[in-house]
Amino acid sequence: AAAAEEPITPPVTVPHTQLLINGKFVDAASGRTFQTLDPRTGELIANVAEGDAEDVNRAVAAARKAFDEGPWPRLPAFERQKILLKCADLVDKHNDEIAALETWDNGKPYEQAAKVEVPMFARLFRYYAGWADKIHGLTVPADGPYHVQTLHEPIGVAGQIIPWNFPLLMFAWKVGPALATGNTIVLKTAEQTPLSALYVARLFHEAGLPEGVLNIISGFGPTAGAALASHMDVDKLAFTGSTETGKIVLELGAKSNLKPVTLELGGKSPFIVCEDADVDQAVELAHFALFFNQACACFCRTLASAAALDLVHSCTKKYTTNLLRKPRRVLQDAQSAIHSRPALNKALRYTSNKSFLTLTNSGSANFLKAGRVDSEQFEKILKYIRSGVECGATLETGGERHGSKGYYVQPTVFSNVKDDMLIAKDEIFGPVQSILKFKDLNEVIKRSNATRYGLAAGVFTQNIDTANTLIRALRVGTVWVNTFDIFDAAIPFGGYKMSGHGREKGIYSLSNYLQVKAVVTPLKNP
Ligand code: ADP
């Protein structure tokens, strides 16, 4: 039987379904709720309070008050640091429940949530806690008898909107730097995955976060999301999601109070396999990169040099066939190949005796939580696959629904793909890989850059000159060379071109949440 049809035992009862405003769980002002569904079965998990403009108003008012009058921005930095460290400790303590909730609501494999994403979440908060007491201004050598300095101040109330693919990590990328720098927050979660954020936010209050500092609104984009983006009292907006919605929120921000907006948007990342690459490794990593989770940095364009093409084809076929036959096992093999990620490797050696682990994995790495009941995203992927076939690309493997329940798509590989086909151009946000052929470096650089996106690229070569040429020529925010998807807390992430504005994670993310105030005082005795 298809693994997606394995029975599922709910891992935990859903602890929180209300909005979190001013430190309290409350119903939506309208009293309305919406359903969050289990992507593996399409069945109801819980009815969740549906926030709208009025709830956003209440949350922003709470965040405003916490910023203008509350202790948070005024606390000695090391006190904020202590609270953030405590948040991370509590997350560690509740690791398994949080992971189970994330799996249930999002559909990702349990091991991935429990052994990689929740620990990474705690790691990110420890990383940002480390910055809290290291925000320095400068003294400036001005022309004249003045003492000039800069103060780096929190920007105020941050509005944050996140997607469904990594609900917890997206939360950490946004909330971490904003809190470390002393801001207050209204976060709108994705309508598909509202649950884990409510749970961790409650833990944060247990850790001592003052009320009103972190408010969580569940609800939909055009209502709650748009209300947040256009709010006059939100001082900064951070958004992760599709490029289309990115344009909308940027416009809403500009039309309201011209709030600065950071955007982390779509990608169509090239994965370049040169003729001198370790092809076996490259193909294995290409598979992991695309099929392991629906990330915006997923590598759906594999550009193989003419010399390596046959080898790429045969390896790809081997891996994908295995993936279809024994999805979980092959995923684990692929993951084990990544030596630089000890946490991941540990995860994969992990065997648990905890009963709720029976729900793990649903057998497939290639989950796809579709947009609500209408399974919009699922249908969209199948449509792209049909368009690939119609345009004359060769469907090597996959191409169909996986199982008969839930919203899973088989890992799908096309060869003989041309640059102008939709499957090579659009961000599909599904497990669909296109293999294209290239002849020389100049050509592959041109073709890789011939996209409106610029999020990331993978480069596979043993030749340092080839690697350096590609690193410098590719117009993308991240280049992974002979590796991929390394997402440490300290490594900045973001896009060139229509993949976004600004960087998240690392030192660069702090400036998103800081104002610079220049202070000039005359010197009486210079
Ligand atoms: P995805 O394809 O990842 O679902 P979206 O851009 O549709 O990307 O969604 C990402 C986030 O943006 C979600 O939280 C969603 O609710 C929100 N969103 C969608 N439309 C709007 C909008 N018009 N204004 C503000 N937020 C929106």
Query: Stretch 488-515: mean pLDDT, rounded?
Result: 97
Question: DSSP for 169-225?
Answer: HHHHHHHHHHHHTT-EEEEE--TT--HHHHHHHHHHHHTTPPTTSEEEE-B-IIIII
Indicate if the pLDDT at residue 68 is higher than 80: yes
Indicate if the pLDDT at residue 326 is higher than 70: no
Residue 322 is predicted with a pLDDT of 65
Indicate if the pLDDT at residue 353 is higher than 90: no
Indicate if the pLDDT at residue 107 is higher than 90: no
Indicate if the pLDDT at residue 301 is higher than 80: yes
Packing angle of the helix pair 95-106, 77-93 (nearest 10 deg): 70
Is-catalytic flag, 400? no
Distance 114 CA to ligand 1 centre (A): 26
Distance 163 CA to ligand 1 centre (A): 7
Residue 406 is predicted with a pLDDT of 64
- Report the C-alpha gap between 330 and 334 in whole angstroms: 6
Residue 358 is predicted with a pLDDT of 25
Q: Is the pTM of this model over 0.90?
A: no
> What tokens were used for 308?
């390596």
User: In percent, how much of the chain has pLDDT > 70?
Assistant: 83
Q: Which element (helix H / strand E) includes 255?
A: helix 243-255
> Which one of 217, 218, 245 would you pick to mutate in the ligand 1 pocket, going by the greatest count of ligand atoms within 8 A of its CB?
245
To which residue do tokens 């009815």 refer? 47
At 49 the three-state DSSP class reads: strand
Residue 412 is predicted with a pLDDT of 84
Looking at the DSSP bridge assignments, the partners of residue 460 are: 273
Indicate if the pLDDT at residue 441 is higher than 80: yes
Question: Of ligand 1's atoms, which has the minimum distance to the CA of residue 377?
Answer: 2
Question: Of ligand 1's atoms, which has the minimum distance to the CA of residue 165?
Answer: 3
Residue 346 is predicted with a pLDDT of 32
Indicate if the pLDDT at residue 195 is higher than 90: yes
Q: Which element (helix H / strand E) includes 514?
A: strand 514-522
- Report the C-alpha gap between 362 and 302 in whole angstroms: 27
Which of 330-334, 363-367, 443-447 comes out lowest in average pLDDT?
363-367
At 33 the three-state DSSP class reads: strand
CB-based contact 4:406 (threshold 8 Å): yes
Query: Stretch 161-190: mean pLDDT, rounded?
Result: 97
Residue 309 is predicted with a pLDDT of 83
Ligand 1 atom 17: residue of nearest CA: 221
Residue 311 is predicted with a pLDDT of 75
How many CB atoms are closer than 10 A to CB 443? 13
Residue 360 is predicted with a pLDDT of 28
Question: Of ligand 1's atoms, which has the minimum distance to the CA of residue 296?
Answer: 3
The candidate with the shortest Cα–Cα distance to 124, out of 91, 78, 163, is: 91
Packing angle of the helix pair 309-325, 279-291 (nearest 10 deg): 50
Residue 256 is predicted with a pLDDT of 98
Residue 165 is predicted with a pLDDT of 85
Question: Of ligand 1's atoms, which has the minimum distance to the CA of residue 188?
Answer: 14
- 526: Cβ–Cβ under 8 A, 6 or more apart, which residues? 145
The mean of the pLDDT values for the chain is 85
Q: Catalytic residue among 6, 191, 264, 396, which?
A: 264
> Which one of 52, 105, 161, 216 would you pick to mutate in the ligand 1 pocket, going by the greatest count of ligand atoms within 8 A of its CB?
161
Which pLDDT tens digit goes with each residue over 413-438?
A: 888 999 999 998 887 777 788 889 99
State whether ipTM is beyond 0.90: yes
Question: Of ligand 1's atoms, which has the minimum distance to the CA of residue 229?
Answer: 25
Residue 291 is predicted with a pLDDT of 67
Distance 221 CA to ligand 1 centre (A): 5
The residue among 179 and 348 whose pLDDT is bigger is: 179
Distance 247 CA to ligand 1 centre (A): 11
> Residue 298 — very low, low, confident or very high, per pLDDT cuts 50/70/90?
low
CB-based contact 182:309 (threshold 8 Å): no
The residue among 39 and 87 whose pLDDT is bigger is: 87
Q: Which element (helix H / strand E) includes 84?
A: helix 77-93
How many residues make up the chain in this entry? 526
Indicate if the pLDDT at residue 114 is higher than 80: yes
Distance 8 CA to ligand 1 centre (A): 29
Residue 405 is predicted with a pLDDT of 64
Distance 100 CA to ligand 1 centre (A): 24
Ligand 1 pocket list (CB less than 6 A): 161-164, 188, 190-191, 220-222, 225-226, 229, 241-242, 245, 248-249
